[in-house]
Structure 1
Amino acid sequence: MARSGAGGRLEGREDRPGGPTQKERARRGAPPPGDTVRFDPIPESRQPAAIDPAYGSTLRRGPRHPPIAVACEAATGAGVRFGPDAVPPGACDLTNRGRDEPLGQRIVVTGRVLDEDGRPVRRSLIEIWQCNAAGRYTHANDQHRAPLDPNFSGEGRTLTDDDGRYRFITIRPGAYPWNNHANAWRPAHIHFSLFGNVHAQRLVTQMYFPDDPLIPYDAIINTIPDEAARRALVSRFSMEETIADEALGYVHDIVLRGRGATPFGL
């Protein structure tokens, strides 16, 4: 449980179920269970700005009033739990939906979902959606001049395992133009939606690819002032995750809450 402390700091108690053991707390120099602990506020620069003139739609939909305080229990109470039937067989493979093979470079996207203490978040439902290799979504609102792929729908889901690990097989998405400003292009990216152990761990974010030349020009990722936080959205290439003669591998770990939290709301 946490409450406002003096001097704009936060106070809380490390007494939640599944929290660090007393031995782990002692090793980290933390106080024993039941003691009040104090935390410096997490820098706002690690999350996207609510209103950024460079990202035009935030001027229309960004909040103009201060956030509304809610009871701590509303944010830390138990979240939605998902069983195996929440994910149909094969839902993590986005390349097996059509009669033929989808077009584009096949890739593996894998990683771990962790909480603020580095523990695995088990049975987290992860949903992804993306455009096809030509940069077009299978959606009525996407009418830009690029071909649709009848063998690629661009959406999938999976549950993390006991180690917090997830794995998708998909197609590397293409870049596409958008109407934020003249000659605006979105880098290749995949949208992620995650459910954690508590309501406050609900996360919607995006994953980018290393060495993409469009990232420095992207108005969306650059709503995040902190460079390290922006880098946390960029996956890394992994030869170990590559499938020989079939797919390249990318690793993308996601942290729910805490100082190292993955930026959300993108």
Structure 2
Amino acid sequence: MHADSEFVARDPAAHPPALTPIYKTSVFRAPHRPLLSLQNSLSEVTGPAFGQHELGPLDNDLVRNYAQAGGAPVGERIIVHGRVLDGSARPVPGVLVEFWQANAGGRYRHRNDNYDAPIDPNFGGCGRCLTDAEGRYAFRTVKPGPYPYRNRVNDWRPAHIHFSVFGSGFAQRLITQMYFEGDPLIRHDSILQTVPDPAAQQRLVALLDLNASVPLHTLAYRWDIVLRGGRSTLFENRLQGN
């Protein structure tokens, strides 16, 4: 995640090919010509530098950061936590981690989402936090619901949370999705099934963590984000390598 880092070649046995007809959107998005390598500008590889003072006190609490006075979002309250690590399992501190998701009914607060599940007036569905000195991040939210999407006749997305991880510059933004242990829709998901390696698929699944839960109140899930190496997390927008 540093400006002078070298890329490791993408492993085709683990990463999905750009063109994967089972996920029909890839037919339109897959490049038809060889990719070009563009020179990054100095501002793209040296900034920005994120600090704790730039975050709001509720940025990592999706249960409260959009709730109206006296209100609370509908759904199962959960804690999601983990660490951002490099390929040698060393913590990566000061990383801006952003996250966004559907509400408990499977509806995004977005004008293009026309799923007929209701909008939750007390849930905005997005937040952010910085990793600490040990690479740890954590946030509170409600568990997102599944939703149908126009891929095949009856395709549904499993419950998932989107993540964005910034490095030392704007050109080092990585994007991925996290799923939940035990979700029966995972094995039917056309998007996740584009990943050919079952072990790589499992690295996108957060595990239930009762040790981090709040008794009688909130369950917890742990999901570590590994940036490099053989056990790295798969990122949607890292086309050039691992």
Q: Could you state the TM-score of these two structures normalised by the residue count of structure 1? A: 0.80
User: Which gives a bigger RCO, structure 1 or 2 (Cα 8 Å, sep 6+)?
Assistant: 2
2:162 to 169, 191, 194: 191
Corresponding position: 1:257 with 2:228: yes
Structure 1 residues 123, 70: closer, same or farther in 2, change over 3 A? same
| CA displacement, residues 130-149 of structure 1 (integer Å, 9 cap, x when unaligned) | 00001101111111111111
Once the two structures are aligned, what percentage of the paired residues are identical?
Answer: 46
8 Å CA contact 2:106–2:146 kept in 1: the answer is yes
For residue 77 of structure 1, report the CA deviation from its aligned partner.
5.0
8 Å CA contact 2:40–2:171 kept in 1: the answer is no
Corresponding position: 1:166 with 2:137: yes
2:152 to 178, 181, 197: 181
Structure 1 residues 104, 200: closer, same or farther in 2, change over 3 A? same
1:107 to 78, 82, 93: 78
Q: Partner residue of 2:181?
A: 210
1:94 to 62, 68, 86: 62
Gaps of 5+ in 1: 1-15, 18-38
Q: Partner residue of 2:53?
A: 85
8 Å CA contact 1:98–1:151 kept in 2: the answer is yes
- Root mean square deviation of aligned Cα: 2.3
Gaps of 5+ in 2: 238-242
- Residue 191 of structure 1 aligns to a residue whose secondary structure is strand
8 Å CA contact 1:105–1:133 kept in 2: the answer is yes
2:198 to 227, 236, 245: 227
* 1:17-96 matched pairs, under 5 angstroms: 41-69=9-37, 78=46, 80-96=48-64
* 1:132-171 matched pairs, under 5 angstroms: 132-171=103-142
8 Å CA contact 2:164–2:175 kept in 1: the answer is yes
8 Å CA contact 2:101–2:162 kept in 1: the answer is yes
- Residue 123 of structure 2 aligns to a residue whose secondary structure is coil
Larger Rg: 1
Amino acid of the structure 2 residue aligned with 1:166: Y
Q: Partner residue of 2:240?
A: none
How many residues are matched?
Answer: 229
